[in-house]
Amino acid sequence: MLLLLAVSACALRAPPRHAISMSAGTPIRRRQLGTSDLVVSDVCLGTMTWGKQNTLEEGVQQLDCAFDEYGLNFLDTAEMYPVPTEAETQGKTDETIGAWLKKRGRRDDVVLASKICGASERITWVRGDGRGTRVTEADIVEGVEGSLRRLGTDYIDLLQIHWPDRYVPLFGSGTYDASQEREAVPFVEQLQALKKLVDQGKVRHIGVSNETPYGVCRFIQEHERDASLPRICSIQNSYSLLVRSDFESGLTETCAQTDVGLLAYSPLAGGILSGKYSGSKAPAGARLNLFPGFMDRYSQSLAKEAVVEYERVAAAYDVTPAQLALKWCYSRPHVASTIIGATSMDQLRENIDAFFLDDLPEGCLDAVADVYSRYRDPSKTS
């Protein structure tokens, strides 16, 4: 009798289990990116570990699998990659992609996105004369020429400004502080410089990254004043179960009204949403432990608490925590494409497979909403 009571008490405490099945055989969806003529897969392959955590051969293997097995057509790089950015490795990510493009051919069915650095006094090794980076015409031209050379191609489909030239709160710092305003390259001059590369056929479309509603509106406004200037079609910002409010509070409306597509980066918040840093588990070879200080906003206690809550939701629906986080991102209506990252083939498959899970049921979305109501900005540093 006692045993029976103990068993039924356990059953009561266990979360309900509702397995979410997987639709095999459906292709990865593709959609038009903003007002451009780029048609991109809902899953975009991020590359920033290639040349640091991953070898060239591993990067090529990821590309083969993602493009030729799963049907992705979209990848994202940057002139400063791999990360953490440093002089010794800069450019190796592009070289990996260049090696793959050369081996595979068929350049036309790849949508290649890259990014030129925003303003940084610290990054002195990307420009030839060690001057640091800005978004002046000289920087944009030098940056794009270098990228094209390393990539072994003569055009970039989507060139993004990696972060703004002007002061904005960046990478987890949440509060705008007017006293930090500084002189910046005017929006119109950035567009005039980008126009030259578009006119030369070296860049097909342009986008922004780590931008704010103000920045998106100003770039669109300059295009509306002078339609010969290129129009931004995308914004690449951090977006995940742990980083939602920055986008959802102002950019969702801004981007819907201006038809600018969100490319959501760090959908696993650097890997922490996979649950592998929870409890006593501390994988030595994983990003947040390998590179102390890099993305450490995600290791803060509140973010970790939120992750444990999302792990419970995932367990209740019989999916992995990574798949819950990714499926949630893949299915947000304002996300044009989710930029995933992986350091192993197992991670890559788990992450792309999440796309094929059936829609998250209402109960699951309610459970996610409940966690979010208690952990709104768990990774904010200020």
Ligand X SMILES: NC(=O)c1ccc[n+]([C@@H]2O[C@H](COP(=O)([O-])OP(=O)(O)OC[C@H]3O[C@@H](n4cnc5c(N)ncnc54)[C@H](OP(=O)(O)O)[C@@H]3O)[C@@H](O)[C@H]2O)c1
Rounded to whole angstroms, how far apart are CA atoms 83 and 91? 10
- Which range in 42-50, 174-182, 248-256, 309-317 contacts ligand X by CB under 6 A? 42-50
Q: Are strands 39-41 and 30-32 parallel, antiparallel or unpaired?
A: antiparallel
Q: Which is nearer to ligand X, 126 or 340 (by Cβ)?
A: 340
Q: Does 329 bind ligand X (CB under 6 A)?
A: no
Q: Which is nearer to ligand X, 36 or 47 (by Cβ)?
A: 47
Report the residue number, 171 or 176, with the smaller CB distance to ligand X: 171
Q: Is 322 in the site for ligand X (CB under 6 A)?
A: yes
Any contact of residue 96 with ligand X (CB under 6 A)? no
Return phi, psi of residue 40, to 5°: -120, 150
The C-alpha angle 364, 41, 354, rounded to 5 degrees, equals: 30
* Part in contact with ligand X (CB under 6 A); list of ranges 47-55, 173-181, 197-205, 357-365: 47-55
Rounded Cα gap, residues 247 and 262, in angstroms: 9
Cis peptide before 27 (omega within 30 of 0): no
Residues 97-156 that bind ligand X (CB under 6 A): none
Helices (H), the chain: 2-13, 56-63, 92-104, 137-151, 187-199, 213-225, 245-246, 252-258, 287-290, 301-316, 321-330, 345-353, 362-374
Residue 212, token pair as written in the block: 């704010």
Residues 6+ apart with CB under 8 A from 263: 44, 76, 113, 207, 234, 235, 236, 237, 336, 337, 338, 339
Could you say whether residue 324 binds ligand X (CB under 6 A)?
no
Binding flag, residue 49, ligand X (CB under 6 A): yes
Work out whether 351 is an interface residue with ligand X (CB under 6 A).
Answer: yes
| Binding of ligand X by 267 (CB under 6 A) | yes
- 280 in helix, strand or coil? coil
Binding of residue 85 to ligand X (CB under 6 A):
no
In SS3 terms, 219-242 reads as: HHHHHHHCCCCCCEEEEEEECCCC
Q: Which is nearer to ligand X, 36 or 343 (CB)?
A: 343
Q: Does 342 bind ligand X (CB under 6 A)?
A: yes
Three-state secondary structure call for residue 97: helix
Using CB under 6 A, pick the residue from 190, 236, 258, 337 that binds ligand X: 236
Find the binder of ligand X among 341, 356, 378, 380 (CB under 6 A): 341
**Total chain residues near ligand X (CB under 6 A):** 30
Choosing from 70, 81, 310, 372, the catalytic residue is: 81
Kindly tell me which of 262 and 322 has the beta carbon lying closer to ligand X: 322
Q: Residue 372 catalytic?
A: no
- Would you count residue 269 as binding ligand X (CB under 6 A)? yes
Task: Give the residue, chosen from 193, 339, 364, 371, that forms a contact with ligand X under the rule CB under 6 A.
Answer: 339
Q: Which residues are catalytic?
A: 81
